[in-house]
């Protein structure tokens, strides 16, 4: 195509179409030139020997709608209508990868063995998430999700409680504060379907 020398006006649009009706989600390469892409690569490099292969944005209208609904509901229960939305990591493997892309964080499949009970676990440091990732046996590649998570009113805890099936009354999430024996990193746990949205799929390699 011949360049006409036109000068673009305003910011370029990054439009991602909805998936076809026969699919729940589509994956689109995330722009390499963006600040977020570069920041994620830098964060992932804190994992010993990690190399990012691709970062893809997940477009799933069904779970996006559910997330926006939860965001409105939690906002109503928080000071200044602030739902305390954070961008956090989640590592997983095997069939769970496709499950999260297509159905989000479904509470029927939440961890039953976590330190804070039956919930979906997230971290602000990918090194923590990497500990829950196994390489694909064929490609040796690994996956960590970069998510939007509604923490709302956090219950900050410095002792584990594996009996939890919901956040304590008056709270929307549990924050396992790090920096104590056995728990170097901070952990963030939500217990309701729709409270977390998988936003980016990070594919990478790292030594076992």
pLDDT on residue 181: 82
What domains are defined for the chain? 27-205 (3.90.228.10)
10-residue averages of pLDDT along the chain (208 residues)? 52 56 81 97 98 98 97 97 98 95 93 91 97 95 98 96 96 93 92 97 95
- The CA-based angle 80-71-55, given to 5 degrees, is 120
Cβ contacts of residue 174 below 8 Å, gap of 6+?
A: 116, 119, 154, 155, 157, 164, 167, 168, 188, 189
What pLDDT sits at residue 71? 98
Give the model's pLDDT for residue 96. 95
pLDDT of the residue at 123? 97
Closest-CA residue to 91 (of 141, 57, 137):
141
Task: Give the pLDDT of residue 7.
Answer: 56
DSSP-derived secondary structure letter, 80 = G
pLDDT for res 1? 40
Give SS3 for 67: helix
Q: Which of 114, 184, 119, 141 is nearest to 44 (CA)?
A: 141
């Amino acid at each position: 195509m011949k360049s006409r020398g036109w000068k673009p006006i305003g910011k370029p649009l990054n439009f991602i179409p909805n998936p076809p009706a026969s699919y729940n989600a589509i994956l689109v390469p995330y722009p390499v030139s963006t600040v977020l892409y570069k920041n994620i690569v830098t964060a992932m490099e804190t994992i010993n020997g990690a190399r990012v292969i691709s970062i893809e944005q997940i477009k799933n209208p069904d779970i996006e709608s559910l997330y926006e609904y939860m965001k409105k509901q939690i906002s109503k229960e928080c000071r200044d209508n602030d739902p305390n939305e954070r961008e956090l990591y989640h590592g997983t493997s095997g069939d769970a990868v496709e499950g999260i892309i297509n159905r989000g964080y479904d509470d029927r499949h939440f961890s039953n063995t976590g330190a804070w009970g039956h919930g979906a676990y997230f971290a602000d440091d990918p090194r923590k998430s990497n500990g829950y990732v196994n390489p694909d046996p064929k490609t040796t590649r690994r996956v960590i999700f970069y998510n939007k998570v509604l923490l709302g009113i956090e219950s900050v805890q410095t002792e584990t409680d594996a009996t939890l099936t919901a956040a304590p009354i008056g709270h929307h999430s549990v924050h396992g504060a790090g920096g104590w024996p056995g728990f170097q990193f901070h952990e963030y746990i939500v217990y309701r379907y729709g409270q977390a949205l998988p936003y980016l799929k990070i594919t990478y390699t790292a030594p076992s």
